[in-house]
C-alpha cells in the first residue's frame, strides 16, 4: 500500500466520511441559524460512489475510516454501506459516529456487517435538558442505543459531550461517573464557534481546563500514556475505573501537529481539514470513473499546518457550512 504524506511529513491514514447531511435531531450548535425542521436529503453521494472513493483512499494509504453525518443511521442503506467498506482491502478499522437514537435496532446488523465500534453524541443526561439542546429529541432513545451498542460488542463505547457553560456544564460530573463501572470513554469536547453564532459561542464556551477541574472534583484523575491510544483526545481515568475520560481541545489547545485525517463530505467534497474552506470536488471524477488517487495526493499537499480556531477568532470555524453539513 502507498503512503499518504502532507508537506509537514504527517502520515494521513484516517478518512472521515460524511454519508448524509441530514439529521433527525436539531442540536443548535451543529445546525446554526436553522429552525427545528428536519432536513431533506440533498445531493448525497450514492453507496457505489462512497465505496469507490474509500477504495481509492485505501490505495492511497488510508487505513482507518469513520462514517459520520448528519446522522449516518438515517441512510436506509447504511448497513449495506458498512458491509461494502468493511470488505475494502487496506481498511483496518471502521467506526461510526451517531446520536444513538436509531441504534437500538441497528447495532446488531451493523456489527455483523463489519462495524467495529461507535461514538455516540450525547450532551445531557437530563431528559428536559436533552430535549432543549436537541430541539425535541428523546433521551431514552439514545440511552437504549448505548445499551444496544454494548450488547452488539461495539466497544469501547465512546460518548461525545460538547460542554457548554450554563447549558450542560453542570452535568460534567455525572458524565464522568459513567466511566467508573462500564467500558465507556467519555470525551468532553470544547464548544467551537460556528456560522452566525459568535455571541452565543462566547457566552457558552468553556475551556477544557475548567472541564478538567470539574472532573477532578469527582476523583483525582490519572493520565493515560499517549502511546496507549491515538486520536485528538488527551486521556485520563479515575483510579480503578473501567472507562476513560478524554478532553478534546479544538479551541484552547490545537492538536494539529498530530492530525492524520482527511474528510469527505456527503456531497463529494474532499477536505484536508475540518476548518478549511479548501476542498476538492470528487463528483465529476466519480461520474467519469476517473482515477481518484491524484485527488487524495492533492488534498494531502494542501493540508494546512494549523487551524485558526481560538478564543480570539472571529466568525465561523467551519466557513459557510454548519457542522451537520461537513461531518464534524
Cβ–Cβ contacts within 10 Å for residue 89, how many? 8
**Domain for residue 227, yes or no?**
yes
User: 135 a known binding residue?
Assistant: no
**Domain for residue 67, yes or no?**
yes
List the grid coordinates of 222.
490519572
**Domain for residue 185, yes or no?**
yes
Q: Which residue is listed with cell 465505496? A: 51
- The boundaries of the domain holding residue 67 are 14-326
Beta bridge partners of 14: 64, 261
How would you classify the pairing of strands 222-223 and 184-190? unpaired
pLDDT string in tens for the chain (328-residue length): 689 999 999 999 999 999 999 999 988 888 655 544 444 555 789 999 999 999 999 999 999 999 999 999 999 999 999 999 999 999 999 999 999 999 999 999 999 999 999 999 999 999 999 999 999 999 999 999 999 999 999 999 999 999 999 999 999 999 999 999 999 999 999 998 866 667 888 899 999 999 999 999 999 999 998 754 557 889 999 999 999 999 998 887 766 778 899 999 999 999 998 777 789 999 999 999 999 999 999 999 999 887 665 554 444 444 445 555 555 5
- Are 79 and 102 contacting, i.e. CB atoms less than 8 angstroms apart? no
Give the angle subtended at the CA of 30 by the CAs of 104 and 264, to the nearest 5°. Answer: 80
**Domain for residue 5, yes or no?**
no
User: 318 a known binding residue?
Assistant: no
**Residue 135 exposure: Cα atoms within 13 Å on the Cβ side:** 16
Amino acid 315: pLDDT: 44
Q: What is the CATH number of the domain that holds 313?
A: 3.20.20.70
User: 70 a known binding residue?
Assistant: yes
User: 23 a known binding residue?
Assistant: yes
CA distance 101 to 147: 11
Amino acid 38: pLDDT: 45
CA distance 149 to 283: 34
List the grid coordinates of 234.
488527551
**Domain for residue 45, yes or no?**
yes
Sequence-distant (6+) residues with CB within 8 A of 267 are: 21, 42, 43, 44, 45, 283
CA distance 26 to 49: 27
List the grid coordinates of 113.
456487517
How many domains does the structure of the chain reveal? 1
Q: pTM of this prediction?
A: 0.90
**Domain for residue 218, yes or no?**
yes
CA distance 55 to 12: 15
List the grid coordinates of 268.
463529494
User: 259 a known binding residue?
Assistant: yes
User: 215 a known binding residue?
Assistant: no
User: 47 a known binding residue?
Assistant: no
List the grid coordinates of 205.
464556551
DSSP H or E stretch at residue 142: helix 139-151
Amino acid 233: pLDDT: 86
User: 262 a known binding residue?
Assistant: yes
**Domain for residue 312, yes or no?**
yes
User: 64 a known binding residue?
Assistant: no
Task: Give every strand in the sheet of 117-121, ordered side by side.
Answer: 222-223, 234-237, 244-248, 184-190, 157-163, 117-121, 93-98, 64-68, 14-18, 261-264, 269-271, 280-281
User: 26 a known binding residue?
Assistant: no
**Nearest alpha carbon to residue 103 among 91, 117, 89, 84:** 117
**Domain for residue 2, yes or no?**
no
User: 16 a known binding residue?
Assistant: yes
For the CA atoms of 54, 10, 309, 281, what is the dihedral angle to 10 degrees?
A: -30
CA distance 197 to 29: 8
User: 66 a known binding residue?
Assistant: yes
Residue 26, SS3 per DSSP: coil
Amino acid at each position: 500500500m502507498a503512503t499518504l504524506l502532507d508537506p509537514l511529513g504527517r502520515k494521513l491514514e484516517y478518512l472521515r466520511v460524511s454519508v448524509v447531511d441530514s439529521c433527525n435531531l436539531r442540536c443548535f450548535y451543529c445546525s446554526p441559524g436553522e429552525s427545528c425542521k428536519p432536513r431533506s436529503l440533498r445531493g448525497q453521494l450514492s453507496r457505489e460512489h462512497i465505496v469507490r472513493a474509500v477504495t481509492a483512499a485505501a490505495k492511497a494509504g488510508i487505513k482507518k475510516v469513520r462514517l459520520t453525518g448528519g446522522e449516518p443511521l438515517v441512510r436506509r442503506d447504511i448497513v449495506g454501506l458498512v458491509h461494502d467498506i468493511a470488505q475494502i482491502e487496506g481498511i483496518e478499522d471502521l467506526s461510526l459516529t451517531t446520536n444513538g437514537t436509531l441504534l437500538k435496532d441497528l447495532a446488531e446488523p451493523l456489527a455483523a456487517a463489519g462495524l467495529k465500534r461507535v461514538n455516540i453524541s450525547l450532551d445531557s443526561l437530563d431528559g428536559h435538558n436533552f430535549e432543549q439542546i436537541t430541539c425535541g429529541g428523546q433521551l431514552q432513545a439514545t440511552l437504549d442505543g448505548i445499551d444496544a451498542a454494548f450488547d452488539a460488542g461495539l466497544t469501547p463505547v465512546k460518548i461525545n459531550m460538547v460542554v457548554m457553560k450554563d447549558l450542560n456544564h453542570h452535568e460534567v460530573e455525572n458524565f464522568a461517573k459513567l466511566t467508573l463501572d462500564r467500558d465507556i470513554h467519555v470525551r468532553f469536547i470544547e464548544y467551537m464557534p460556528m456560522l452566525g453564532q459568535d455571541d452565543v459561542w462566547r457566552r457558552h464556551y468553556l475551556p477544557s481546563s475548567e472541564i478538567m477541574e470539574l472532573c477532578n472534583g469527582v476523583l483525582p484523575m490519572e493520565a493515560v500514556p499517549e502511546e496507549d491510544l491515538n486520536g485528538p483526545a488527551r486521556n485520563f481515568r479515575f483510579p480503578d475505573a473501567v472507562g476513560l475520560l478524554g478532553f478534546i481541545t479544538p479551541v484552547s489547545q490545537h492538536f494539529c501537529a498530530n492530525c492524520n485525517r482527511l474528510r469527505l463530505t456527503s456531497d463529494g467534497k474532499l477536505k484536508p481539514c475540518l476548518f478549511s474552506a479548501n476542498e476538492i470536488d470528487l463528483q465529476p471524477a466519480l461520474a467519469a470513473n476517473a482515477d481518484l488517487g491524484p485527488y487524495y495526493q492533492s488534498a494531502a499537499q494542501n493540508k494546512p499546518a494549523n487551524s485558526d480556531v481560538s478564543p480570539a477568532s472571529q466568525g465561523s470555524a467551519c466557513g459557510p457550512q454548519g457542522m451537520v453539513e461537513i461531518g464534524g
